[in-house]
Amino acid sequence: MSHAVDAVDAAAIALNERSWTPSDYELTLARDFLTRRDGLPPRLLPGMPACPSPQGWVTQHVLWLEDVSHLADGLLAAWRDWLADGPMVALLAAYANLARSAVPLAAQLAQDWAAEWQAPPSAQETSWWEDWRLPAEQRRQIDALTDRLIMAGAVVVMAVNRGETGR
């Protein structure tokens, strides 16, 4: 994880020192990533009821992290021929790597859910299930991961803003 944080820090420093101004291709990739990331639909496990809280289930967030990692990986693969390895590629790769760290948990939650629920549970039962499957320490880890992703995302936005105004 330190490599991912290093790439994020390096991009932020380069932007602040103005030693990196994102190219048009980098800006297009970043904008595409942000637009697609922000447009990802919430995903529930099969039969999972809607969460009564606007925040959604923790499981939904873990599934979103999985989707974000796939999105970033797909965009990076598609842009490889257009972009050399540079700060934007490193930044989005760091974002993908951070999000990817939740993929094993997403798979485990999906497996546990499928094994434990034959009929759709109520919202209360789902809440109890999440409390059992995602104990406090694991939730703190998800929160810490989310904080690092927010920082990486903020640097992507900063790069887009700097690239647009730095021309």
Model confidence over 59-77: pLDDT tens digits?
999 999 999 999 999 999 9
- pLDDT band for position 81 (50/70/90)? confident
* Distances from the Cα of 109 to the Cα of 43, 48, 63, 66, 103, angstroms: 13, 12, 9, 12, 10
Domain with 157, as residue range(s), is 2-165
Among 42, 95, 40, 103, which residue's Cα sits nearest to residue 73?
A: 95
pTM above threshold 0.85? yes
Neighbours of 4 (CB within 10 A): 22
Residue 150 C-alpha from the chain's centroid: 9
pLDDT at 167 over 80: no
- Residue 5: per-residue pLDDT: 55
What distance in Å separates the CA atoms of residue 47 and residue 58, rounded to the nearest whole number?
16
- Total domains, the chain: 1
Among 86, 133, 91, 135, which residue's Cα sits nearest to residue 114?
A: 133
Express as a percent the part of the chain with pLDDT over 70: 95
- Residue 1: per-residue pLDDT: 42
Greatest extent of the chain over all pairs of C-alpha atoms, in Å: 57
- pLDDT band for position 137 (50/70/90)? very high
- Residue 3: per-residue pLDDT: 56
Neighbours of 22 (CB within 10 A): 27
Neighbours of 17 (CB within 10 A): 8
Region 151-156 average pLDDT: 96
- pLDDT band for position 154 (50/70/90)? very high
